[in-house]
Amino acid sequence: MRNGVHSWHLFKQVANFNLFKQYKILSLSRTYSAIMISSTRCTFLGNTGLGGCGNFHGGQRRSCGPWRVTCMSPSNDRNGSVVNVMETPLKEIKKEHVEVEVVEDVDDNPISGGGPRDVYGEDKATEDHFVTPWSVSVASGYTLLRDPHFNKGLAFTEKERDAHYLRGLLPPTVIPQETQVKKMIQHIRQYQVPLQRYTAMMDLQERNERLFYKLLIEHVEELLPIVYTPTVGEACQKYGDIFMRPQGLYISLKEKGRILEVLRNWPEKNIQVIVVTDGERILGLGDLGCQGMGIPVGKLSLYTALGGVRPSACLPITIDVGTNNEKLLNDELYIGLKQRRAVGQEYSELLHEFMTAVKQTYGEKVLIQFEDFANHNAFDLLEKYRSTHLVFNDDIQGTASVVLAGLVAALKLVGGNLADHRFLFLGAGEAGTGIAELIALETSKQTNLPLEEVRKNIWLVDSKGLIVRSRKESLQHFKKPWAHEHEPVKNLLDAVNKIKPTVLIGTSGQGRTFTKEVIEAMASINEKPIILSLSNPTSQSECTAEEAYKWSKGRAIFASGSPFPPVEYNGKVFTPGQANNAYIFPGFGLGLIMSGTIRVHDDLLLAASEALAAQVSEENFEKGLIFPPFTNIRKISAHIAAKVAAKAYELGLATRLPQPKDLVKFAESCMYTPAYRTYR
């Protein structure tokens, strides 16, 4: 087969020929031996192998540099957008293979729109003349520098600059990735406002993906509060102001009936993790509607940086069903649907269509993580789909797992088992009831007592006071298991004095609710009170680290949801721990992926908690920490992934067989590393 005809067949496999054949081939020549379609003068199937491409002979293709699909306007200028060149005469192709309408000149007029010749069709594109924005090429030259997946900036070697047409597009200096990291961290640190740092990090992610993750991994303790809580909360509040480029999929009520089509618009096809939100309960900030996209984007950045899930396998999604936030509805910069939230059947149908489409598009083993749904939807969605999909709610299950790990570790400081302690929660929503249930499950497992019995040591306070049996009829279904026999108690301080808990946990989303009187009461009851102030962001934390240590006279074992700096009290420095979900969900997700797990079982969450608690060292305990430092987070994630995978194999939920002998090493080998690749 002649090269020109063979190349034509190859092109038809790359592009959608049914669409392509509707448009006119713009120029034909016998000068070269293959089709050339490029925005950077790079031969796609050429014998010359330009732009790092290999030659095509007899159906064989050498491996090439980075391949991308880009879009632009067609042109009959060889130096411009689309140039089609083939060796075989057009009549022969038309006769033997395809029908092609020949147009010798699509624009006889050299002057268009009152200016120079309109090479790119920019003038006529605004009129009735339609253009087809398409191009297929090896990423090279100017295009390569603007592709975040392959761009390396000044780290391109001399050889790569020659092979990929980068001469003159970069300064002459070649610097390694390590130097780029040093430069970028200095750049980030020059900003004093956290939101400016967040914007700078997101801009880097859009320019150079591998450098972004390299920077985040090497400076994780410093940058985690920027790309995640607490700064991501402010970013969501101002998302309409800082929104520049789409970072995920937006599925709104407008797409009802077409969600499968929308999912197929996403360029990556091998998706392993989806983080989805409807924006109704973003952190402790409430309904932020479509602007909640910052949460899935941030979570998936951590899936890659901390858990090693490759970025191309991650998909952030916001489901926009409207918002009840009046401020957003009246904001001209708001990017979502300006209508009240859909509820009832309309909401359920949209979510069910979404869940069905995800499974149809990405298969049985794609992990769907629900994020920041309101209580009335979060529990129902988890319960409805946990038996048919691989679903995980980070607010209910992830928070529970990380808090349970902290409590198990804290027992080494205070003594006893979980069954020996009494727990009091301020907050009875997703996080509070989720943590309570996992504590009960672990206690039941340790003592062989029924769940109903061990739940009696766990008490919850909501906005109306202590949850007791006399209130049971008016309670939401997820609160009813915690309605114990007791007289009504209206406020937290009275509940502390009546229940006499050894552990106080805040998940209320209400700042400064652990008052001086409450913490002093805890300290009077316990030699070492365990106080966990978990609400995010920092402004919503039930108390600060300084308040907890000062009011307990330095005796509290403290951890929070948002980070707090070290505290000095009576000459001793206390380092507060952070009960951050980022300890759990990246490693947990990696464990599910590497084992091919098809359903999330509660025992997998317990396994993750045990693995995290085991990573707390004696040195950490001496500083008052009940969680390990984030500097070793990828190692921690590998151990969590191994424990989760082992439990999945034990329960028969894993599908990747045979089971690897060393699951920790296997987890480490599965992790994405952001080091630059070498291009041919």
Same domain? 236 vs 307: yes
Nearest to 397 by CA among 248, 607, 538, 598: 607
47-61, 320-334, 411-425: which has the minimum mean pLDDT? 47-61
Amino acid 504: pLDDT? 98
Domains in the chain: how many in total? Answer: 4
171-180, 290-299, 526-535, 618-627: which has the minimum mean pLDDT? 618-627
Burial class (CB in 10 A: 0-12, 13-18, 19+), 661: exposed
- Is 553 noted as a catalytic residue in this protein? no
Residue with tokens 């941030």: 298
Domain end residue (candidates: 373, 393, 413): 393
Same domain? 416 vs 529: yes
CATH number at residue 536: 3.40.50.720
Same domain? 565 vs 587: no
Rounded CA separation 589/586 (Å): 5
The catalytically annotated residue of 165, 228, 362, 549 is: 228
Residue 175 lies in a domain: yes
Rounded CA separation 655/635 (Å): 24
Same domain? 293 vs 346: yes
Q: Are strands 67-70 and 135-138 parallel, antiparallel or unpaired?
A: antiparallel
Copy the structure tokens of residue 648: 């999945």
Q: Which residues pair with 569 in a beta bridge?
A: 572
Q: What is the DSSP letter of 624?
A: T
Residue 491 lies in a domain: yes
- Show the domain range for 489: 397-579
Residue 581 DSSP SS3: helix
Residue 353 lies in a domain: yes
Amino acid 241: pLDDT? 77
Q: Choose between 31 and 464: higher pLDDT.
A: 464
Amino acid 61: pLDDT? 37
Rounded CA separation 465/483 (Å): 12
CATH number at residue 174: 1.20.1370.30
Same domain? 647 vs 540: no
Residue 528 DSSP SS3: coil
Rounded CA separation 512/191 (Å): 29
Copy the structure tokens of residue 123: 């003038």
Percentage of the residues of the chain whose pLDDT score is greater than 70: 80
Same domain? 219 vs 243: no
> Is residue 344's pLDDT more than 90?
yes
Residue 97 lies in a domain: no
Are 439 and 418 within 8 A, CB to CB?
A: yes
Q: What is the DSSP letter of 66?
A: -
Same domain? 366 vs 386: yes
Rounded CA separation 653/619 (Å): 37
Report residue 456 CA to chain centroid gap. 37
Same domain? 438 vs 544: yes
Rounded CA separation 561/232 (Å): 13
Same domain? 464 vs 369: no
What angle do helix axes 585-595 and 294-305 make, rounded to 10 degrees? 70
37-46, 212-221, 231-240: which has the minimum mean pLDDT? 37-46
Please report, as a single letter, which amino acid is at residue 395.
D
CATH number at residue 308: 3.40.50.10380
Are 220 and 631 within 8 A, CB to CB?
A: yes
Average pLDDT over residues 250-263: 96
pLDDT digits (tens, 9 = 90+) for 447-456: 999 999 999 9
Domain end residue (candidates: 367, 393, 419): 393
Report residue 37 CA to chain centroid gap. 35
Amino acid 67: pLDDT? 54
Are 316 and 275 within 8 A, CB to CB?
A: yes
- Is 299 noted as a catalytic residue in this protein? yes
Residue with tokens 């409430």: 286
Same domain? 453 vs 532: yes
Are 587 and 644 within 8 A, CB to CB?
A: yes
Burial class (CB in 10 A: 0-12, 13-18, 19+), 393: buried
Residue 499 lies in a domain: yes
Confidence tier at 136 by pLDDT (50, 70, 90): low
Percentage of the residues of the chain whose pLDDT score is greater than 90: 71
Domain end residue (candidates: 351, 367, 393): 393
Same domain? 194 vs 279: no
Average pLDDT over residues 245-254: 90
81-95, 166-180, 370-384, 405-419: which has the minimum mean pLDDT? 81-95
Residue 453 lies in a domain: yes
Residue 267 lies in a domain: yes
The catalytically annotated residue of 152, 299, 643, 647 is: 299
Average pLDDT over residues 395-413: 95
Angle at the Cα of 655 from the Cα atoms of 652 and 660, rounded to 5 degrees: 90
Same domain? 262 vs 298: yes
| Average pLDDT of the chain to the nearest whole number | 84
Rounded CA separation 206/180 (Å): 16
Residue 563 lies in a domain: yes
Average pLDDT over residues 378-400: 95
Average pLDDT over residues 193-207: 94
Burial class (CB in 10 A: 0-12, 13-18, 19+), 569: middle
Confidence tier at 15 by pLDDT (50, 70, 90): very low
pLDDT digits (tens, 9 = 90+) for 423-445: 999 999 999 999 999 999 999 99
